[in-house]
Amino acid sequence: MNETHTHTQTPFFADKQEKLAEILSRYPADGRRSALMPLLWEVQREERYVSEERMRELAEIVGTTATEVKGVMSFYSTYHDQPVGTFHIQVCSTLSCALAGSDELFDFLSNELGIVNGETTADGRFSLQKVECVGSCGTAPVVQVNDTYYERVGRGRCRHLVDALRQGELPPVWRERGGDTVGAAKAEPVKQPTDRGEG
Amino acid sequence: MKVRVNDVELDLAPGTSAIDAVFAAGGDVPYFCSQEYMSPIGACRMCLAQVGAPRKERDGSWVMDEATGQPKIFWFPNLMATCTTQVMEGMVIDTLSERVKTAQNGMVEFTLINHPLDCPVCDKGGACELQDRSYEFGDGLSRFQFDKRHNEKHHPLSDLITLDRERCIQCKRCVRYFEEVPGDEVLDFIERTAHTYIGTADPGLPSNFTGNIADICPVGALLDASSRFRGRNWEYDHTRTTSMDDATGAAIIVDARTGRIERIKAALNPDVNKTWIDDGTRFGHEYADSPDRLTTPLIRRQGKLEPATWDEATAFIAERLKGLSGKDVGIAIRSDSTLEEGVAAMALAEELGTGQLDHAPRPAATLIGNQVATITDLATADAILVVGDLTEEAGVLDLRVKDALKGVTPPTLMPHGVPIADLRLKEHMPRQREILTVAAPYRVDLMRHAGATVRYPAGGEAAFFRALGKLAADANALLGEADEAAAGMSTGQARALVARLAAAKRGVIVLGGLALNRRESAEAARALVKAVGAKELAVGPMANSYGLELLGVLPSHERYGYAGMLDGAKALVLSHLDPAQDGEVAERLRGKDLLVVHDIFMTETAHLADVVLPAASVYERDGTVVNLEGRFLPVRAAPVDAGSSTDLTGVARALGEAMGKRLEGRSVRSARRVLKKRFDIDFAELPDHGLLPRAKSRGPVKALAGEVAAGTGNVLVVPSMARAEYLSRNRHLAAAVGGNRLRVNPEDAVKHNLTGGAEVRLKVGGTWRQAVVHVTDGVPRGLMTIPSLPEQPVGLAQADLAGIVVEQVRLEVAS
Amino acid sequence: MSVIDIAKGMGLTLGYMFKRPVTVQYPRDKVQIQPRFRGRHHLLRHPDTGLEKCIGCSLCAAACPAYAIYVEAAENDPANPVSPGERYAKIYEINMLRCIFCGFCEEACPTGAVVLGHEFEIADFRYQDFVYRKEDMLVGTKGSKWQRREAEAKGKDVKLGFEAGPRPELEGVDY
C-alpha cells in the first residue's frame, strides 16, 4: 500500500566514501546504527545543520529510518535540524541551573539579542536555545556557546560574554575551581577556547 | 520454579516475568507499557512491587532464617518493575503492602501531571487503561498546581491515524510496535524530558499496519481517524468475528452503533493473527454503511427495475424458472461466501438439478495441497520462500513471517492468557533475514526484510519453480542462460535457495495468487515442495476460497465452471459477482432468459438483471469460514441496518418457499446440520479461536478450473489489501492509499505520456478501470501493475495502452 | 343523621369559603414554582463567546435511566466552531415522552451544558413531536414545540401558557 521516498539532492557522502568507510569500520557489522552519531557530526560540521534530506541519506546508510535519525538528533541539543547562527548560545534549563537563575539569564539574553527560544537573529550571527542538562551542574548556571562552556554566568559575565560575541569572537573561558571559597572575582582566564566537537 | 505471590505458591517456567507470575497467581498490578507480543521495557514504572529472593551460601545451601527455619528472604532495597524482572527460585513478590500501594498511587499522580484529563471528548474514554488504572490505583487527588504541558491536540499522523500529543504518557508502545512487529520504524520519540513527543520524519506513516497502534495505545493519544467522535465506547455493540477481507481469517471486533459499523478493532487469536491486523482489514469497512446499499429486492417490469417485496421477487423467479430446464441454470457465488451459504447454493443447484455451480474467483490449481503448513508453522519456520506480494494478499502472514525472522517461538499461554511481558523479546532484536527469500515480478514490501530477493519476469512463476525443481533434483545441474533469465536468478542463487530449503527442518513455501492462477506454475511449485520436503501455504484469493473448495461448491464438469456458465447457461443466479464490468460479457448477459443478481450495490450486472436481491455484506452474516491453513473460524453478524437484505441462506429459504420446497440451506441452522454430517464439527459451538481439524477430514477434492489468468499481457493485475471494488466507497482508506494505483516505470511513463497523479481510465482485459498513475521504479520496464477486482484474478492481462484516457492531470504532491 | 350534623358540615364548608384557597385557576393563574423545579431541558451557551457548552460527550445519555437521550458528535471546524474545543454535538435529541425529569443528565454533564428549566407545558399531538432536537432546547428558544409551531402559523410571537421568570442561573455556570 505504501512506498518509500526517492532522493533528489546529491548525497553528502558521494565524494567522501573513504571517510564513510572509516567511520563505519569503527563499529561491528551488525551494529551499523551505532555509526549514526559520528555521521551526523560529519554532516553538521560541514553544513552547520542536518537537513531532512541528509537524515534520509544517513538513515539509509546505517539501515534505519529518517524518523529514528530525527529522534536521535532531537535528543541531543548539539544537533540542529535548521541552520543556526555563527554563535549558537545554549542556556541550560535543568534543575541546578534553573535554581541558580537560568530563567532570568535566558530572559536577559533574549531581550539583549531580540530573539526567542529556537530563533536566529536576522544577520545570522546569534541563535538562542534553551537546552536540557549539559552536565555541569556544579557550576550552574551554564551557557554553552557553540562547543564552549561558560560557567557560573551571572548578569555581569553574561553582558561581558555578549559584548565579546558581538565583536565576533569567543571570549576566553574562565575556570571555576568550585566550592564557595572561590568567588567570581577570583575567576581567571586560563586558555583559548578549543573545539570540543571531536569524537 | 517455585515462586510465592502474596501467599499464593506457584510453579512457573524459568524465564517467566514477575508480572506474569502476579497475574498467574490471580493478583493484579497496574501497567501501561507492557503489551502482549512485545518486548517489556519498564518505561511506565506502574507495575512496581516489592520483590525478594533467598540467597545462597558459598557452599550452595540457602541462607536460613533462624527464627523460622526457612530460607531467609532478602528484599530488594527498592521496588522493582515486575515486567522486566525475571522470576528466580524461591522468589517472593508482594503487591499488596502499604509501600507498594503508596508507590502506585504516586505513579498515577505523576503520570497524570501532564495528562489533559479531557476524557469527555476523548474517543478512548470508557475503554482507557489510564482512566481505569487511575480509578483503581490512584487516590483521585493531584498536588500539581501549575499549568500542564500544552501541545498539538489534533495532529494527523496519516489519513488513518490522529495523534493527540497532550494525552501521550510516553509508554513507548507505538514506537516499539513499529520496530518490533512490522519492522517499519516510522514513529519515534522526538525531543527529551517533559518536551518529549511522538513524531515521525516519514509523512503519512509508510507502513501497512498502522492501525494497530490505536488499539495498543493505553490512552487516547493515537486514535483511529475514521471513527473519530463517532460514538463512545460503551455505546458500541461489539461483535467478535472473523475478518473476511483476506484468506488468513484474522480475528476482529466489529463495533457498530445505531445500525452502522463505526470501527473495526483487532481481536486476539494466538494461532492466527495474534492481536494484529492490517490496515485494509481495519479501515476497509466504510462501504458497508454506504447510502447506496440495496435494501429491497428489485424486479424488472416493462424494462425498468422497480422495488418489490421478497415474496414478489421470489415468486417472479420461481415462475420464470418453471419455463426453464433446471440444467440450464447456472449458480455462482463469490469466494467470500460462508460455508453455510455454500450449502444453500449447493441445495439450490441440487433442487434445480444443475451441475453449473461454482465459486469465483477460483485459482486454476487446488488450494488444498498435501503438505499444508499452519500459520504457526510459518511463524516458526527456519526457511521461507514467498512467491508473490504477501503483504497485500494476506497482511497477517507478512507479520507472521517477520516473527519467524526473530527466531522466537510463540509464547505458551498462561492461566491469564498471553504473557504480558515475554522476556525473550527485546527492542531492536537481530533478525535472521537470511532465512527469507521473496520472489515477485515487481518490488514488493516484504523484500525489504528478505535475505534474498528474486525479481523474475512477469508470468515467469512456472519457469522460476521449474528452475528450482531442476536443482532440487540434481544439485549439480546448471541452468542455461535462457532458463536463468526466465527464472530471474542465476544458477548460484537458485542453488543456494534450494540448499537452504532442503536443509531446513521446518521449511515453508508460500504460494501467492500469481503462482496459483496458472496450473503449470502451481504444479511446478508443488513438485518443488515435495522435492525439498517443505510445507506449503497456498494463499487463496478470498476469505473462504479454501472452505468452498473443501465443501465442494464446484461444477460437475470443467466446462460448467464460472467462465463457462456466463457463456452457456440460459439463466444465471449470481451472488456478489459482477461479470458485466467486462463489456463483452455484458453483451452475453443481455441474452439470458433470467438473470438474478444477489449483491449489496447496483453493480453493472445488477443493471442488466431481471431480479436484484439485496445481499448482506460480509459483516452482516452468521456462518463459518475456513482460512488458508484449513482452520474453521466463526463469522458473526454485526447489527447493521441494511433494510431487508439477507445472505444466501435467506435467498434459499425465500426461493424455496416460492417453489414449494424446503431446501437444506434455508437457514444457518439448517445448513449447519448438513455441515455437521459432512465435517463432524458442531458449528454452532465453534470457539472464537477456531478449530483446526487433523488432515484426515479432507476428502478427495475434484479440482476443476479453467486458467483464470492469461499467460501473457502487458499489465499485471496484483493483489491489494485495500479492496479495489470498494475503494471508492472507503473514504479514509482511499485517501491513505491514494486510490487505485496504476504503477508505471518512469521510462514507460515517458513513453505513454503519463504523469504521476494523473487520473486515467484504461481497459484491462475487457474491463474499464479507473486508476491513478503512480510512477515508480518498483515495477520493471514494460510492465504496469493495477490492483485486482474479484472478476480479474491476479496475473497478467492485456491492456489497451494506446487507448488510455487521461481524465484529470493532477500533480503528485511531493512529500 | 341529624340536622345538626348537616349544619356542622355545611358550617365547615361555609368557613372555608372565607379562607384563602390553596388551588389556583390554572391556566389563568399560576402557582409559584420552586427554584429547583425540573422542567424541560435547556442547552446552554457560554455567555461570553456564545458557543455551545455541549461537547457531545454522551455522558448524559449514559446517565439517563430512561434511555431518552441520543447524542451524535462531530468535529468542530476550527474556523467556525460550534463549541469550544474539538468536539460538538451534531445531533442532540431528548425524547420528552421517555424522560422522567430526574435531572441525572444535569448531574452527569461535565460542562454544565444541559439543565432542567421551568417549562412544563410540552403537551403535543404526535409522537415524533416529543423528540426535542438541539434547536428546540438551545437557550433562548421560547416555548414548547407546538407553541412555536402555532406562533409560526399565525405569524405572531410565541404565547406562553406559562411564563417563566428571568433565569440568570441558566445563562452560565462559573467554573
Question: Buried b vs exposed e over B714-743: b needs ≥16 C-beta within 10 Å?
Answer: bbbbbbbbbbbbbbebbebbbbbbbbbbbb
Confidence (pLDDT) at C175: 42
B18 and B2 Cβ atoms separated by less than 8 Å? no
The ipTM is 0.86
C13 and C145 Cβ atoms separated by less than 8 Å? no
B525 and B456 Cβ atoms separated by less than 8 Å? no
Phi-psi region of B477 (alpha: psi -120 to 50; beta: other; left: phi over 0): beta
Residue A9 with chain B: CB contacts under 8 Å = none
**pLDDT higher for C167 or B440?**
B440
Q: Do B776 and A66 touch (CB under 8 A)?
A: no
- Quick one: closest CA in B to A54, which residue? B201
Residue B8 dihedral angles phi and psi, to the nearest 5°: -100, 125
- The whole-number mean pLDDT for each consecutive block of 10 residues of chain B, a chain of 815 residues, reads 93 95 95 95 94 92 88 93 94 95 94 92 94 92 88 92 94 95 92 88 89 95 94 95 95 95 96 95 95 95 94 95 90 96 96 93 89 94 96 95 94 94 92 95 94 94 95 90 93 94 95 92 94 94 94 90 91 95 92 95 96 96 95 95 94 94 93 94 93 65 63 90 92 91 94 90 91 93 93 88 80 46
- Quick one: closest CA in B to A2, which residue? B206
Nearest to B621 by CA among B651, B593, B592: B651
CATH of domain B375-409+432-538: 3.40.228.10
Could you tell me the strand order of the sheet in which C87-95 lies?
C69-75, C87-95, C131-132
Chains C/A: 3 or more C-beta pairs closer than 8 A? no
CA atoms within 13 A on the CB side of B407: 11
Q: Do C56 and B228 touch (CB under 8 A)?
A: no
Least confident of A163-177, B97-111, C40-54, C130-144: A163-177
In the DSSP assignment, the letter for residue A120 is: B
Return the domain boundaries, chain B: 2-109, 149-288, 298-362+556-698, 375-409+432-538, 715-808
Residue B318 host element (H or E): helix B310-322
Residue C110 with chain B: CB contacts under 8 Å = 120
Closest CA–CA distance from residue B633 to any residue of chain A (Å):
27
Q: Does any CB of chain A come closer than 8 Å to the CB of residue B206?
A: yes
For residue B784, list its beta bridge partners. B715, B744
- Quick one: closest CA in B to C76, which residue? B229
The torsion angle over the Cα atoms of residues B310, B313, B317 and B322, rounded to 10 degrees, is 90
Nearest to B572 by CA among B329, B333, B298: B329
Confidence (pLDDT) at B815: 40
What is residue A143's three-state secondary structure? Answer: strand
Q: Do B232 and C62 touch (CB under 8 A)?
A: yes
Q: Within chain A, what is the greatest distance between any pair of CA atoms?
A: 67
Q: Do C74 and B153 touch (CB under 8 A)?
A: no
Confidence (pLDDT) at A198: 41
Residue C75 with chain B: CB contacts under 8 Å = 228-229
Q: Does any CB of chain B come closer than 8 Å to the CB of residue A52?
A: yes
pLDDT digits (tens, 9 = 90+) for A101-118: 999 999 999 999 999 988
The band of A181, judged by pLDDT with boundaries at 50, 70 and 90, is very low
Domain B715-808, CATH class in plain words: mainly beta
CATH of domain B149-288: 3.30.70.20
Question: Buried b vs exposed e over A29-50: b needs ≥16 C-beta within 10 Å?
Answer: eeeebebbbebbbbbbeeeeeb
Q: Domain B2-109 adopts which CATH fold?
A: Ubiquitin-like (UB roll) (3.10.20)
- Quick one: closest CA in B to A69, which residue? B201
- Which residues are within 8 A (CB) of C153 and not within 5 positions of it... i.e. 6 or more apart? none
Q: Is the pLDDT of residue A199 over 50?
A: no
Q: Does any CB of chain C come closer than 8 Å to the CB of residue B152?
A: no
Best B117, B154, B232, B236 residue to mutate vs chain C (most C CBs within 10 Å): B232
DSSP B21-56: HHHHTT-----SS--TTS-----S--SEEEEEEE-B
* Degrees, nearest 5: CA angle B629-B631-B637: 125
Residue C61 with chain B: CB contacts under 8 Å = 235
> Rounded to a whole number, what is the distance in angstroms from the first to the last CA of chain B?
54
- Quick one: closest CA in A to B391, which residue? A1
B758 and B810 Cβ atoms separated by less than 8 Å? yes
CATH of domain B298-362+556-698: 3.40.50.740
Q: Do A68 and B188 touch (CB under 8 A)?
A: yes
Residue A56 with chain B: CB contacts under 8 Å = 201
All chains having 3 or more CB pairs closer than 8 angstroms to chain C: B
User: What's the mean pLDDT in C73-88?
Assistant: 93
Confidence (pLDDT) at A197: 41
